């Protein structure tokens, strides 16, 4: 074998060995693909959509996050509306966070069923028993 052929083979072996290592590190620590199942995030995501999530980004209000559910190997994709210390209320189809109303542009309001409300009224206290989102939690 010539020297250039040996170098070429060695180069390919390095690539074949290092590529899976780099992919593993990226998937485990930086980002990961997810499959969307269900319709609860429409119109942002539809059933069977695929998305790539970042594992290193800071979470802010109205971000979409993926988290482990109570059942083994089950994941949920949801939107964050309450950060630690926030009070959250839904009244007359308007979202109130710390007393300020927010337009929810991501909610499909012109539905074919013609419901009077898309989201039912609630307060954080009614759903969780807490007046404010606890430290270390999201809503």
pLDDT in tens, 72-111: 788 889 999 999 999 999 998 889 999 999 988 777 656 5
**Of 47, 59, 110, 54, whose CA–CA distance to 86 is shortest?**
59
Residue-level pLDDT at 111: 55
- Residue spans of beta strands (DSSP E) within the chain: 31-35, 50-54, 64-68, 75-79, 88-91, 94-97, 100-102, 122-123
40 is annotated as an active-site residue: yes
Residue-level pLDDT at 74: 84
pLDDT in tens, 105-135: 777 656 555 556 677 889 999 999 999 999 9
Residue 112, CA atoms < 13 Å, CB-side half-sphere: 0
pLDDT in tens, 1-29: 577 888 999 999 999 999 999 999 999 99
Residue-level pLDDT at 119: 79
**Of 63, 58, 65, 54, whose CA–CA distance to 31 is shortest?**
54
Instruction: Please state, as a whole number, how many other Cβ atoms lie within 10 Å of the Cβ of residue 74.
Output: 9
Query: Which CATH code fits 83-139?
Result: 2.10.109.10
* List 6, 7, 40, 55, catalytic entry: 40
**Of 25, 90, 88, whose CA–CA distance to 56 is shortest?**
25
Residue-level pLDDT at 125: 93
Residue-level pLDDT at 130: 93
Residue-level pLDDT at 107: 73
pLDDT in tens, 26-55: 999 999 988 888 888 877 888 889 999 999
Residue-level pLDDT at 108: 66
Domain assignments of the chain as residue spans, ordered by start = 83-139
78 is annotated as an active-site residue: yes
Sequence-distant (≥ 6) Cβ neighbours of residue 15 within 8 angstroms: none
């Amino acid at each position: 074998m010539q020297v250039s052929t040996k170098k070429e083979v060695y180069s390919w072996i390095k690539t074949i060995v290092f590529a899976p290592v780099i992919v593993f590190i990226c998937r485990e620590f930086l980002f990961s693909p997810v499959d969307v199942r269900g319709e609860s995030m429409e119109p942002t995501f539809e059933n069977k959509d695929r998305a790539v999530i970042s594992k290193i980004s800071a979470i802010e209000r109205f971000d979409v996050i993926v988290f482990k559910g109570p059942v083994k190997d089950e994941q949920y994709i949801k939107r964050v509306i309450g950060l630690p210390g926030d009070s959250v209320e839904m009244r007359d189809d308007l979202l109130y966070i710390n007393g300020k109303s927010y337009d929810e542009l991501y909610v499909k309001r012109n539905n074919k069923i013609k419901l009077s409300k898309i989201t039912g009224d609630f307060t954080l206290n009614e759903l969780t028993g807490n007046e404010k989102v606890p430290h270390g939690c999201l809503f």
